[in-house]
């Protein structure tokens, strides 16, 4: 069991967007004295506690090999193939009218649950240039990728700290980005 398992099962963690977790923690009376930013730190800690150093390393390697060409090394949706996609000129990917998603954009990333992102990786974006990876990756690999995608929003407390998080992770965003309704589906 992950340390966060005491508070949130892995299933619950995967079903909830970071924005929903933020709203749940924010409304908890015990945490009333925390600033909004400190509540985001807790959200980042929940993420860190539900992944492992090994999963993040695997996710990073898979991302560099399979995703960075479109989504960019830093996740900003600006990989070498992005321009071709947006211009609808890339042969071999069908019609591709959308730019690759920008994982540095808090509104969409923090509004998306791990399960939603994993589903998109497995199924791809029909009618966009997002390939479907279901037949290529194991389920474990797809979750490692999802864990890694959140590194474009959250910083680990210490990359060398191993699996046991000391709980000093910093969310990288302004609390006002949290969608009031609690995120997308
Ligand atoms: C050929 C270019 C291309 C490659 C390679 C690619 N993607 Fe995408 N991806 C896209 C495009 C284009 C979209 C936008 C689809 C949309 O908005 O519906 C997208 C969307 C996504 C989304 C949905 C984001 C959201 O907020 O809804 C996720 C998650 C994603 N990609 C993950 C990955 C991962 C992980 C990999 C590597 C295993 C990858 N992509 C490889 C082009 C690509």
Please state the separation of Cα 50 from the chain's center in Å: 12
Cβ partners under 8 Å of residue 2, min gap 6 = 10, 49, 50, 163
Distance 146 CA to ligand 1 centre (A): 11
Domain ranges of the chain: 3-161
CATH architecture of 3-161: Orthogonal Bundle (1.10)
Write down the pLDDT at residue 157: 66
The torsion angle over the Cα atoms of residues 161, 155, 174 and 68, rounded to 10 degrees, is -160
Name the residue of 115, 125, 148 to mutate for ligand 1: max ligand atoms within 8 A of Cβ: 125
The pLDDT of residue 175 is above 50:
no
Which 8-state DSSP code applies to residue 159?
T
Q: Cβ(121)–Cβ(103) under 8 Å? A: no
Name the residue of 91, 130, 137, 185 to mutate for ligand 1: max ligand atoms within 8 A of Cβ: 130
How confident is the prediction for the chain on average, in pLDDT?
80
Pocket of ligand 1 (CB under 6 A): 66-67, 69-71, 81, 85, 93, 98, 100-101, 108, 112, 117, 120-121, 125, 128-131, 133, 145
User: Could you tell me the pLDDT band of residue 97, with boundaries at 50, 70 and 90?
Assistant: low
Q: Among all chains, which residue has been given the structure tokens 């000129």?
A: 89
Q: How large is the average pLDDT for residues 160-183?
A: 45
pLDDT tens sequence across 55-93: 999 999 999 999 999 999 999 999 888 877 765 544 455
Query: 101-133 b/e with 16+ CB inside 10 Å = b?
Result: bbbbbbebbbbbbbbbbbebbeeeeeebbbeeb
Residues in the chain: 185
The pLDDT of residue 54 is above 90:
yes
């Amino acid at each position: 069991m992950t340390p966060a398992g005491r508070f949130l099962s892995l299933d619950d963690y995967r079903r909830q967007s970071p924005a929903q977790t933020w709203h749940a923690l924010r409304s908890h009376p015990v945490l009333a004295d925390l600033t909004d930013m400190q509540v985001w730190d807790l959200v980042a800690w929940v993420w860190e506690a539900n992944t492992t150093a090994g999963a993040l390393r695997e996710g990073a390697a898979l991302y560099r090999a399979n995703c960075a060409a479109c989504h960019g090394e830093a996740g900003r949706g600006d990989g070498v193939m992005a321009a071709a996609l947006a211009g609808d000129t890339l042969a071999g990917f069908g019609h591709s009218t959308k730019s690759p998603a920008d994982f540095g954009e808090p509104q969409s990333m923090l509004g998306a649950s791990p399960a939603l992102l994993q589903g998109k990786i497995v199924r791809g974006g029909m009618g966009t240039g997002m390939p479907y990876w279901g037949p290529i990756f194991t389920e474990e690999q797809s979750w490692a990728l999802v864990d890694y995608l959140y590194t474009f929003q959250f910083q680990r407390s210490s990359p060398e700290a191993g699996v046991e998080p000391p709980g000093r992770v910093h969310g990288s965003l302004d609390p006002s980005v949290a969608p009031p309704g609690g995120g997308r589906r």
